[in-house]
Amino acid sequence: MAGLMISLVGSLPPGNLNVAAMQIAVKETFGKALWFSLGVIVIEMIYLGVILNAIGRFTIGNNAAVFFRTVSVIFLLVLAVSSLAAVKAKKHKNIVLDNKIRRSVLGATMSAVNPMQVPFWMGWIIYLLSRSLLIDSAAGIIVFVLSTGIGTFIALLFFIYAGKTFSEILLRKQKQVNMVTGCLFIVLAVAQLFKVGQ
């Protein structure tokens, strides 16, 4: 549930991937948008598996838990600052999708070069491990990775079904979305900061 919700909420703010999925659905076909989404999800799940494998080697003892919580606070504050800074940023241009690349390959490529993918999941995995919300076992990792894939897919479906009219409304409200997201990250950082002191 944690993996699904984090992935779903993290994929809802308008970004290159979900807006591209929406544009493909509007300008091309629903099927091509689904293939694009599949490419995005596969790469995200591969990254997630690699990150879990790397972080899962650590033992979460008392000292490690304090370390991870401290890192989580820093990471969440960085995310909060970047989200709030985006409020003042100029509106991003839509991606040009005029090419003949297979949509699954395009989705995989865009997901692979997404700069926020690794730090986003690394921060959340550290947070979940430090709170014992993520079970460090083969079955736990498989369930978590599949859940995040489902969460991302639901978010992309939301954008695919939204269509042209809703996309224009949502992109006009991007500053408000960034403001709410930034405030949420600050709340989570403060909650983690109290945990560090315990």
Query: What pLDDT does residue 38 have?
Result: 95
Angle at which helices 62-88 and 174-196 pack, to 10 degrees? 160
Q: Are 153 and 12 in contact (CB under 8 A)?
A: no
Count the neighbouring beta carbons within 10 Å of the beta carbon of residue 62: 7
Interior angle at CA 160, CA 78 and CA 19, nearest 5: 40
Query: What pLDDT does residue 147 have?
Result: 93
Instruction: Kindly provide the b/e burial profile for residues 142-162, where b requires at least 16 CB atoms within 10 angstroms of the residue's own CB.
Output: ebbbebbbebbbebbbbbbeb
Number of domains in the chain: 1
What stretches in the chain show pLDDT beneath 70? 14-15, 56-69, 71-72, 75-76, 79, 82-83, 86-99, 114-116, 163-174, 177-178, 181, 185, 188, 192, 195-198
Query: What pLDDT does residue 87 have?
Result: 66
- Name the residue range of residue 171's domain: 2-196
Classify burial at 40, counting beta carbons within 10 Å of its beta carbon; exposed 0-12, middle 13-18, buried 19 or more.
Answer: buried
Distance from C-alpha of 47 to C-alpha of 112, rounded to nearest angstrom: 8
Q: For 137-153, write each residue's pLDDT tens digit.
A: 788 888 999 999 999 99
Query: What pLDDT does residue 90 have?
Result: 55
Structure-token pair, residue 115:
């700069």
Query: What pLDDT does residue 112 have?
Result: 81
Q: Are 37 and 157 in contact (CB under 8 A)?
A: yes
Read off the DSSP letter of residue 99.
S
Q: For 79-101, write each residue's pLDDT tens digit.
A: 677 667 766 665 544 344 566 78
